[in-house]
Amino acid sequence: MSDPSGLTAAALRGAVDLSSLRNRPTPGAAPAGGADAPADSGAPSVVADVTDASFGNVLELSRSVPVVVELWSPRAGGPDAGLESAVRAQAGRLVLVRVDADANPQLVQAFRPQSIPMTIALVAGQPVPMFAGVLPADQLGQVLAQLLQLAGQNGVTGTVPAPDAEGDAPAEPEEKPLPPLHAEAFAAIEVGDYTRAIAAYEQALKQNPRDEEAQAGLGQVKLLDRVQGVDLQAARAAAAAGPRDVAAQLTVADLDIAGGHVDDAFDRLLELFAALGTDERGPVRERLLELFGLIGSADPRVVRARGRLTSLLF
């Protein structure tokens, strides 16, 4: 996601190969100025600098606390102070790790950033694209809120000790347990049993129709279920051959969402909606509304797409 997509991290497995960075030896190099402590010190901190060698610790940490990874370069002005402030404001619910792209070629190769600076999240050891460049403070707050929501849906709800105003830190990390049906859904997702996960989220919504996390989780699992096993090249070829083939276009839109190409997915479905007759539009409108809920109603991409859909309806 060049902005947060709201996807579960499981949807991005295989998009970025971080396997070569796991379980590396971690030398005790000191961090660059400004970090609380080196990530390889064994003590998680809210902000730390990491290297190719120490990144394996970060992957493991992301299984309990969501991690924001900032790829920066001295040539591009150094780390983003605004991002650091925004992460610190979360009081230990997020960790920021900073990577000097010029000095850590293996991490750059693994993440394949389109530009520097680039920010990626890690949730349960899996990468979640976030944004390129630098965001203003108000947008950063929205992005991090979506990341925390995603992490919660995946059971990653731990914290790390965060310094208070006097520089003291809480003695123990805290972890909020998932509700039972959410935990059941997450366990099912972990083993690829999306049918069971869907049933658990649907049951949670029967018990509490206002359960926003269950609603978002349901949309995400349905997306995972639809794209599981789909051949990307074959799907795109079918959509190109049938520009008004609703099923083919819906499939490619799902793949675009799963790959973080949110605007591409919305544009594809809105163009299809405009081209279809009134009696053919129902499935496209339903899928758009489902995807709007998946990404989040406050997301600017959803706001733009919803406005265009409204203009096409009336």
The answer to whether residues 137 and 193 belong to one domain is no
Look at residue 175 in the predicted model and tell me its pLDDT. Answer: 58
List the CATH number of the domain containing 68.
3.40.30.10
The answer to whether residues 19 and 122 belong to one domain is yes
| Domain assignment of residue 273, yes or no | yes
| Domain assignment of residue 159, yes or no | no
Q: Over the stretch 116-174, which tens digit does the pLDDT of each residue have?
A: 888 999 998 888 888 888 888 878 888 898 899 888 888 888 888 866 544 444 445 55
Query: Per-residue pLDDT averaged across 96-108, rounded?
Result: 88
The answer to whether residues 103 and 228 belong to one domain is no
Cα 87 from Cα 85, distance rounded (Å): 5
Query: Per-residue pLDDT averaged across 15-37, rounded?
Result: 41
Judged by average pLDDT, the poorest of 4-18, 110-124, 245-259, 295-309 is 4-18
The answer to whether residues 142 and 186 belong to one domain is no
| Domain assignment of residue 254, yes or no | yes
| Domain assignment of residue 170, yes or no | no
Q: Is the pLDDT of residue 7 over 60?
A: no
| Domain assignment of residue 284, yes or no | yes
Backbone angles phi, psi at 36, to 5 degrees: -70, -45
Domain that holds residue 282: 180-313
Q: Residue 169: which residues within 8 A CB-CB, separation 6 or more?
A: 161, 162, 163
The answer to whether residues 201 and 149 belong to one domain is no
The answer to whether residues 19 and 140 belong to one domain is yes
Q: Which of 104, 136, 153 finishes a domain?
A: 153
SS3 for 215-266 is: HHHHHHHHHHHHHCCCCHHHHHHHHHHCCCCHHHHHHHHHHHHHCCCHHHHH
Looking at the chain, the whole-number percentage of residues with pLDDT higher than 90 is 34
The answer to whether residues 140 and 185 belong to one domain is no
Q: How many separate domains does the chain show?
A: 2
Q: Is the pLDDT of residue 309 over 50?
A: yes
List the CATH number of the domain containing 284.
1.25.40
Q: Which of 153, 172, 206 finishes a domain?
A: 153
Give the chain's radius of gyration (CA, Å): 20
The answer to whether residues 43 and 116 belong to one domain is yes
Query: Per-residue pLDDT averaged across 174-198, rounded?
Result: 85
Query: Per-residue pLDDT averaged across 49-73, rounded?
Result: 87
Q: Is the pLDDT of residue 105 over 90?
A: no
| Domain assignment of residue 173, yes or no | no
Confidence of residue 314 (pLDDT cuts 50, 70, 90): confident
The answer to whether residues 104 and 203 belong to one domain is no
Q: What are residue 67's DSSP bridge partners?
A: 95, 122
Structure tokens at 244: 């008004």
Q: Over the stretch 215-263, which tens digit does the pLDDT of each residue have?
A: 888 888 999 899 888 998 999 999 999 999 999 999 999 998 888 888 9
Q: Largest alpha-carbon pair distance within the chain?
A: 65
Q: Residue 182: which residues within 8 A CB-CB, separation 6 or more?
A: 153, 155, 200, 201, 204, 213, 214, 217
Contact call for residues 75 and 119 (beta carbons, < 8 A): no
- How confident is the prediction for the chain on average, in pLDDT? 80
The answer to whether residues 86 and 211 belong to one domain is no
Judged by average pLDDT, the poorest of 26-30, 146-150, 192-196 is 26-30
The answer to whether residues 184 and 307 belong to one domain is yes
| Domain assignment of residue 2, yes or no | no
Query: Per-residue pLDDT averaged across 186-206, rounded?
Result: 91
Confidence of residue 269 (pLDDT cuts 50, 70, 90): very high
Q: Which of 112, 138, 153 finishes a domain?
A: 153
Which stretches of the chain are DSSP H helices?
55-61, 81-88, 105-111, 137-153, 180-190, 194-207, 212-227, 232-241, 246-258, 262-275, 282-295, 300-313
Q: Residue 262: which residues within 8 A CB-CB, separation 6 or more?
A: 1, 3, 5, 256, 295, 299, 301
| Domain assignment of residue 141, yes or no | yes
The answer to whether residues 132 and 188 belong to one domain is no
